[in-house]
Amino acid sequence: MSDLSDLRQETAGLVDAAASADAAARKLSVWRRLARNQSVVIGGAAMAVMLLVAIMAPFLGTMDPAEINPAWRNKVPGTELTGTAADGSQGWVYRMGTDTLGRDTYSRVIYGTRVSLIVGLSVAGLSIAIGLVVGMVSGYVRWLDGIIMRVMDGLMAIPGILLAIALVSLSSAGLDTVILAITIPEMPRVVRLVRSIVLSIREEPYVEAAISVGTRLPLLLIRHVLPNTVAPLIVMGTYIVASAILVEAILSFLGVGIPPEIPTWGNIMAEGRLLFRIFPHNILFPGLFLAVTVLAVNMLGDGLRDTLDPRLEKRM
């Protein structure tokens, strides 16, 4: 006896009527609701800090992350550099110690933030841009749908990391290759989401009404279908950011990602792996940054999902 739908509708109708008294007030309330959601606030703040760290990396008391100092290899965190460093500064403190080549782990981790965020954001941006177009076409052009979706099924059947490894090994390693390699396995999820939204929206009477007043297909999609995908895609985007950052770290750790001279969290951990038992700091600090970033992005995503579109949970 759980069918309370009529009643819910009735009450929801009443609540709705009052809540929607004014369109402007409603728009404001989205921001207010976001501000009230704890995971949005915490996740968003942590992400903002990470973004600042990435942008301000040279000004955060870092040295050149690639600079090798053979005399100061494998130092534990807090070791003080006596004498003069290459750039002439004195009394340098290795806050997070040094690695096997004597590079400053702190500087490397801070600069690594840049790579991680660039990879995360570009993968999210790219896969959403491509996924949106492909998903719309798939949802609207019926005869293409079968073909596109089978290709996407195929892509989904390949483990993402394996596909990325294969793609990286086909071309030279580099930031752009890694971004592309992570984007391809992420894309099918976006395509599926967009397609499912388009399929349900195209049946809506207001879309049919637009067709019968002669609205052309591109305008129809942009005007009536696209706005419905915005909220779900923002949420999906945050999840992609998190998973892309993770996959990039994994690829680097496996040595098939970004070349080792560029500091990324994965690279730092890969190099620290051999001496992990004696000098755990080379794994610990980048690992901590990675964990905090991914957690923050996921919290932000959960919060956004709960505020923007509570029904989305079932869809993804």
Q: C-alpha 269: how far from its chain's center?
A: 20
* Closer residue to another protein in complex, CB, 17/71: 17
Please, which residues bridge with residue 84 across strands? 90
Torsion angle in degrees (nearest 10) through CA of 25, 222, 135, 161? -60
The beta strands (E) that lie in 135-188 are given as none
> Looking at 28-36, 105-113, 201-209, 261-269, which segment touches another protein (CB under 8 A)?
201-209
**Residue 18 binding another protein, by CB under 8 A:** yes
**Residue 108 binding another protein, by CB under 8 A:** no
Q: How far apart are CA 117 and CA 242, in angstroms?
A: 9
Nearest to 51 by CA among 107, 109, 113: 113
**Residue 6 binding another protein, by CB under 8 A:** yes
Q: How far apart are CA 116 and CA 257, in angstroms?
A: 12
* Closer residue to another protein in complex, CB, 1/71: 1
**Residue 74 binding another protein, by CB under 8 A:** no
Integer CA distances (angstroms), 189 to 101, 120, 192, 278, 303, in order: 41, 16, 5, 42, 20
As measured in angstroms, the least distance from the Cβ of 275 to another protein is: 53
**Residue 91 binding another protein, by CB under 8 A:** no
**Residue 150 binding another protein, by CB under 8 A:** yes
Q: How far apart are CA 128 and CA 122, in angstroms?
A: 10
Contact 265, 181 (CB under 8 A): no
> Looking at 20-28, 59-67, 168-176, 248-256, which segment touches another protein (CB under 8 A)?
20-28
* Closer residue to another protein in complex, CB, 13/58: 13
As measured in angstroms, the least distance from the Cβ of 92 to another protein is: 57
Size of the site for another protein (CB under 8 A): 38
As measured in angstroms, the least distance from the Cβ of 172 to another protein is: 38
Backbone angles phi, psi at 84, to 5 degrees: -105, 135
Which residue shows structure tokens 């800090």?
49
As measured in angstroms, the least distance from the Cβ of 306 to another protein is: 17
* Half-sphere exposure at residue 41, Cβ-oriented, CA atoms within 13 angstroms: 8
Integer CA distances (angstroms), 43 to 28, 132, 214, 286, 303, in order: 21, 26, 45, 19, 8
* Closer residue to another protein in complex, CB, 23/170: 23
Q: How far apart are CA 246 and CA 182, in angstroms?
A: 10
**Residue 157 binding another protein, by CB under 8 A:** no
As measured in angstroms, the least distance from the Cβ of 7 to another protein is: 5
| Contact letters for another protein, residues 210-249 (x by CB under 8 A) | xxxxxxx--x---xx--x----------------------
**Residue 195 binding another protein, by CB under 8 A:** no
* Closer residue to another protein in complex, CB, 59/206: 206
Please, which residues bridge with residue 98 across strands? 104
Of 15, 68, 76, 166, the one binding another protein (CB under 8 A) is 15
**Residue 7 binding another protein, by CB under 8 A:** yes
Backbone angles phi, psi at 99, to 5 degrees: -100, -170
**List of residues contacting another protein (CB under 8 A):** 1-8, 10-11, 13-21, 23, 146, 150, 204-206, 208-216, 219, 223-224, 227
